[in-house]
Homo-oligomer: A and B are copies of this chain.
Amino acid sequence: MQYLRIKEELIEQIESGLFVARQKLPSERKLAEAFLTTRVTLREALRALESEARIYCEDRRGWFICPEPLRYDPRLTLNFADMAKQQGRIAFTELLQAKQILATKKTAKLLQVPMLTNIYHITRVRYLEKRPVVYVVNYIKADYFAKLLDFDFTQSLTVAYKKHYSLCYQTTYYRISTTSLSGEVALALRATSGSPAMLIERTNYDQKGRLIDCDLEYWRHDALCIESVAELVSQEA
């Protein structure tokens, strides 16, 4: 089990402070040579470190040391910028696409509307310290938000809801699972196909209990940790 030995040695090097957050590791060939092994085995060790969220891979750029994950509390109104700021992080949002579409079978189901209903479809990438960490897809019921597309989506959606429509999230159903990145999502996050990820799916309701939007968030798995408090309700509830 050479790759485990290599993994442990790299962990020591990381923890000793030889590498700092966001720093690039030496090239795979150099590491393989240093550990007297082949690239295949060396990459096995790197993959293990990746699963432990100690390093991450940028497609064709190399391996880097993970910074601290962002702490995410599902109970809070999710304003990415503020959440990052409160944790001393530098956030940035890039708009990939914002358009009005007709609900497909899948999106109709998500928003609980008939097929072919008008909905908005917004795709964004969010960055922490210039690293893309999450790919966000929003599906929004168009009838509550006339002219929504006029607004600036590099700002928070929830702020726009409140400011222009006096609506805000009251209740959120969410689902968190692990998955992997591929295709367009992987590309936007500079990840290779197959990189481990967390998927957060949310369905949001306003003060009146009306479903207003859904979002799908694909997080690089090392960039996030869920942290929250629960006041427990009994099992029978």
In angstroms, Cα B137 to Cα A169, docked, is 36
Contact of A170 among B48, B170, B173, B232 (CB under 8 A): B232
In angstroms, Cα B82 to Cα A234, docked, is 12
B residues less than 8 Å from A195 (CB atoms): 51
A52 B180 Cβ-Cβ under 8 A: yes
Residues of A within 8 A of B (CB-CB), count: 50
Contact with B along A9-51 (1 / 0, CB 8 A): 0000000000000000000000000000000100010011001
B176 A196 Cβ-Cβ under 8 A: no
Q: How many protomers of this protein does the assembly include?
A: 2
B residues less than 8 Å from A79 (CB atoms): 235
B178 A232 Cβ-Cβ under 8 A: no
B225 A193 Cβ-Cβ under 8 A: no
Q: Measured between C-beta atoms, what is the minimum distance from A143 to chain B in Å?
A: 22
Task: Answer whether residue A4 sits at the interface, using C-beta atoms and an 8 A cutoff.
Answer: yes
Q: Measured between C-beta atoms, what is the minimum distance from A64 to chain B in Å?
A: 17
B residues less than 8 Å from A53 (CB atoms): 177-179
Interface residues, chain A, CB within 8 Å of chain B? Answer: 1, 4, 40, 44, 47-48, 51-53, 69, 74-77, 79, 82, 168-180, 182, 193-196, 198, 221-222, 224-235, 237
